[in-house]
């Protein structure tokens, strides 16, 4: 059985149909690309899976669990983490603190214990060490103690990856991780994503406009256009699919 | 000695400096209590109470990013509950604290529930409404409310808090009751400061700040927004409840006119002048609203045509001008604006990075 299955998901905002009965599956361990022209509904789909939006219709299952029965903050307990197209970091916290919050659901210190430091010291220092190590893995330890504000966009996108990784994800959803990166950085990112997948045993769902990266990295691609799935398959098949070519050319007219 | 002094967090030097600082601060605080005349000590006690209340407001507004503006009601509730417990239920004075805090916590949490749906200006309006209605509710002559609160005339707490046991043994006389209370209140202030500081530097506190800065990011990281906001609101209210208890027991008197909406505005002024989202700012802010307002009444400048008299019709004007000047010169509040300078030129604590594991494999 597929690890993630999206079935007939429809999302309407007033008159706009952002997703129109979209269905697809992602196998465990796969790097799956989710592509499509601007406004195709890719981010909307992420928001449905992470329970920020309620779909008008449809079902989303992860490892047999109906995600629609869960609230947004419970999704990460199941092992689903994501990054954001336009960043969702906390600028009032330092970089390392941002990453530490990423492990919120795997740590336990509650309000009262925290106030009086009852048995929280060990967890806190271990959490700190872990966050610093994850940052170092991504070569980010130099910015660890800076505010997560005013750093270059590419660095912030990487910090979001670190924040997701520390939660020990099974499925990692990346929303345009290559935006704002230089050519060299894009290639490096491709390596990073592949290594993360292998090392952490991840499934990756990748939304990206950078076609070279998507083609090089993914094992499967799902193509959305105007909320509908118009193609699905391995990179070579999808690349040559006339419907896909038409959708992309059509949208750039 | 070279400035700035730089220490590493958690190092032996850092710990030594903190110890020295704590000793100096405590010594100064003891000195203040014995230098000031008894009636001024009473004012400092009010300062402590207001500082605790402003810390409470800061928790919701500064750290939680929720625009609540009705905290005078929580202070009032804490004060009335205290008066009622001590007078009618024959509680020993300070025994009222847990009950006053629990009741205000519950009341604050209840208010948080609508606050989850309504945001921004609507939340401001709702909380203002609570603060405006509260004094009238406290006067209602039904259900025994007016008897408990004293209604429009207020209520005296018949037995003042005077030195007993240890206090007496330490040499406090009944004539120095305010000075005796100063030390009890100071102990509570210290507990509050450490508890809130610990909270802010913990998993739960980071979650509160994360919700302020980006709710969606917090939710997908596993933060239960409902729980966190209810807790933040409740704790904020409970701190105001504690402040209310302190005010009631220090003055041995509670009256609805002391908890009108302008008190909530004063707290906001104190918070902004001291520095939003700073802990020290609460004390500076409390000092401003308790003392600077008094000082400005002593202003007496002869301008030739007329005298600028702090006690006359211009008293509010002088205080207002002081506030305007401070906000212009220090837009992030006194503590918030001085801190970067202090860190750069005087004293800095550098983070101590944790050890990296030997097995670390970089991803690129
Ligand atoms: N909260 C919302 N309210 C109203 N409309 C929305 C909302 N979110 C998305 N939409 C609309 O839904 C459609 C799909 O948007 P979505 O952000 O999912 O596209 P996308 O595929 O991620 O595009 P891009 O590549 O530009 O990021 C767009 O028409 C968008 O305007
Ligand atoms: Mg998008």
pLDDT digit string, tens, across residues B61-91: 999 999 888 899 999 999 989 888 877 767 6
Kindly report the protein residue whose alpha carbon is nearest to atom 28 of ligand 1. A39
List chain B residues with pLDDT less than 50.
Answer: none
Q: Looking at ligand 1, which residue's alpha carbon is closest to its atom 6?
A: A13
* Mean pLDDT for the stretch of residues A228-250: 89
Whether the Cβ atoms of residue B228 and residue B211 lie closer than 8 Å to each other: yes
pLDDT at B294: 74
pLDDT for the residue numbered B313? 66
pTM attached to this predicted model: 0.93
Beta bridge partners of A60: A6
| A118-164 confidence digits (pLDDT tens) | 989 999 999 999 999 999 999 999 999 999 998 999 999 999 999 99
- The C-alpha atoms of residue A3 and residue B35 are separated, in whole angstroms, by 72
Q: How far is the CA of B196 from the centre of ligand 1 (A)?
A: 40
**A78 interface with B at CB cutoff 8 Å:** no
Contact A235, A34 (CB under 8 A): no
Closest atom, ligand 1, to C-alpha of A14 = 4
Ligand 1: nearest atom to the Cα of A209: 25
Contact: A124, B199; criterion CB under 8 Å: no
| Alpha carbon distance B134, B152 (integer Å) | 13
Answer whether residue A253 shows pLDDT above 50: no
Query: What is the distance between the terminal CA atoms of chain A, rounded to a whole angstrom?
Result: 40
The residue extents of the domains of chain B are 39-258, 260-347
Place of tokens 């070569």: A139
Quick check: CB of A41 below 6 Å from ligand 1? yes
Token pair listed for A135: 């940052």
Averaged pLDDT score across all residues of chain A: 94
Beta-carbon neighbour count of residue A40 at 10 Å?
25
Q: What is the DSSP letter of B63?
A: I
pLDDT at position A81 is 97
Phi, psi dihedrals of residue B206, rounded to the nearest 5°? -60, -35
Tell me which of A13-17, A204-208, B153-157 is least confident. Answer: B153-157
- The reported pLDDT for the residue numbered B311 is 67
Q: Chain A: nearest CA to B38, how far in angstroms? A: 34
Ligand 1 centroid–CA A20 distance in Å is 13
Percent of chain A with pLDDT over 90: 86
Site to probe by mutation for ligand 1, drawn from A40, A173, A214 as the one with most ligand atoms within 8 Å of Cβ, is: A40
What is the structure's pLDDT at B89? Answer: 67
ipTM (interface pTM) = 0.94
User: What pLDDT is recorded for position B148?
Assistant: 65
Chain B environment of A128 (Cβ under 8 Å): 354
CA atoms within 13 A on the CB side of B300: 2
Own/partner contacts of B298-301, CB < 8 Å, gap of 24 or more, are: none
Pocket-testing residue among A14, A18, A40, A54, ligand 1, by greatest number of atoms within 8 A of Cβ = A18
Cβ(A111)–Cβ(B235) under 8 Å? Answer: yes
Q: Is the CB of A52 under 6 A from ligand 1?
A: no
What are A94-121's pLDDT values in tens digits?
A: 999 999 999 999 998 889 999 998 989 9
Instruction: Give the Å distance between the CA of A206 and the centre of ligand 2.
Output: 11
* Pair type for strands A171-175 and A203-207: parallel
Q: List the 239-278 stretch of B: residues with Cβ below 8 A of A.
A: 277
Please list every residue in chain A whose beta carbon sits closer than 8 Å to the beta carbon of residue B56. none
CA–CA separation, B157 vs B121, rounded Å? 38
């Amino acid at each position: 059985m597929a690890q993630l299955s999206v079935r007939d998901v429809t999302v309407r905002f007033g008159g706009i149909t952002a997703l129109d009965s979209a269905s697809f599956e992602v196998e465990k361990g796969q790097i799956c690309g989710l592509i499509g022209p601007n406004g195709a509904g890719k981010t909307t789909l992420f928001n449905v899976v992470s329970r920020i939006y309620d779909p008008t219709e449809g079902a989303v299952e992860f490892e047999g669990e109906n995600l629609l029965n869960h609230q947004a903050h419970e999704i990460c307990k199941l092992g689903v983490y994501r990054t954001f197209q336009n960043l969702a970091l906390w600028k009032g916290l330092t970089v390392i603190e941002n990453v530490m919050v990423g492990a919120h659901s795997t740590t336990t210190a509650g309000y009262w214990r925290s106030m009086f430091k009852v048995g929280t010291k060990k967890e806190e220092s271990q959490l700190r060490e872990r966050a610093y190590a994850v940052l170092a893995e991504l070569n980010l330890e130099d910015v660890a103690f800076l505010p997560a504000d005013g750093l270059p966009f590419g660095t912030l996108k990487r910090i979001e990856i670190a924040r997701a990784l520390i939660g020990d994800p099974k499925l990692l959803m990346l929303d345009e991780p290559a935006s704002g990166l230089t050519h060299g950085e894009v290639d490096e990112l491709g390596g990073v994503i592949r290594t993360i997948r292998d090392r952490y045993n991840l499934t990756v769902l990748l939304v990206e406009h950078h076609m070279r990266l998507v083609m090089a990295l993914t094992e499967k691609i799902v193509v959305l256009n105007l909320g509908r799935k118009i193609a699905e398959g391995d990179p070579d098949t999808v690349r040559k699919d006339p419907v896909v070519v038409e959708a992309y050319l059509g949208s750039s007219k | 000695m070279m400035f700035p002094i730089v220490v590493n967090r958690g190092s032996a030097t850092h710990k030594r400096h903190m110890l020295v600082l704590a000793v100096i601060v405590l010594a100064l605080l003891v000195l203040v209590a014995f230098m000031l005349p008894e009636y001024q000590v009473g004012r400092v006690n009010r300062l402590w109470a207001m500082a605790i209340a402003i810390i409470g407001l800061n928790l919701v507004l500064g750290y939680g990013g929720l625009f609540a503006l009705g905290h005078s009601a929580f202070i009032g509730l804490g004060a009335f509950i205290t008066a009622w417990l001590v007078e009618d239920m024959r509680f020993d004075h300070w025994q009222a604290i847990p009950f006053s805090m629990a009741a205000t916590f519950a009341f604050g949490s209840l208010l948080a529930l609508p606050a989850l749906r309504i945001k921004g200006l609507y939340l401001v309006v709702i909380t203002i409404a609570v603060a405006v209605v509260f004094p009238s509710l406290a006067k209602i002559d039904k259900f025994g409310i007016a008897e408990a609160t004293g209604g429009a005339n207020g209520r005296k707490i018949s037995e003042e808090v005077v030195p007993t046991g240890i206090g007496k043994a330490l040499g406090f006389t009944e004539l120095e009751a305010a000075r005796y209370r100063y030390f009890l209140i100071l102990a509570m202030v210290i507990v509050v400061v450490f508890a809130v500081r610990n909270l802010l530097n913990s998993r739960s506190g980071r979650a509160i700040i994360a919700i302020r800065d980006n709710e969606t990011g917090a939710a997908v990281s596993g933060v239960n927004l409902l729980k966190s906001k209810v807790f933040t609101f409740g704790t904020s209210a409970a701190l105001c409840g504690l402040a209310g208890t302190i005010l009631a027991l220090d003055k041995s008197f509670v009256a609805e006119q002391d908890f009108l909406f302008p008190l909530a505005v004063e707290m906001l002024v104190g918070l902004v002048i001291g520095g939003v989202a700073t802990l020290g700012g609460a004390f500076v802010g409390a000092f401003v609203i308790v003392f600077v307002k008094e000082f400005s009444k002593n202003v007496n400048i002869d301008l030739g045509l007329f005298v600028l008299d702090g006690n006359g019709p211009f008293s509010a004007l002088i205080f207002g001008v002081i506030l305007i000047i401070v906000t212009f010169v220090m837009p992030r509040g006194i503590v918030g604006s001085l801190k970067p300078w202090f860190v750069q030129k005087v004293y800095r604590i550098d983070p101590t990075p944790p050890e990296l594991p030997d097995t670390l494999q970089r991803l690129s």
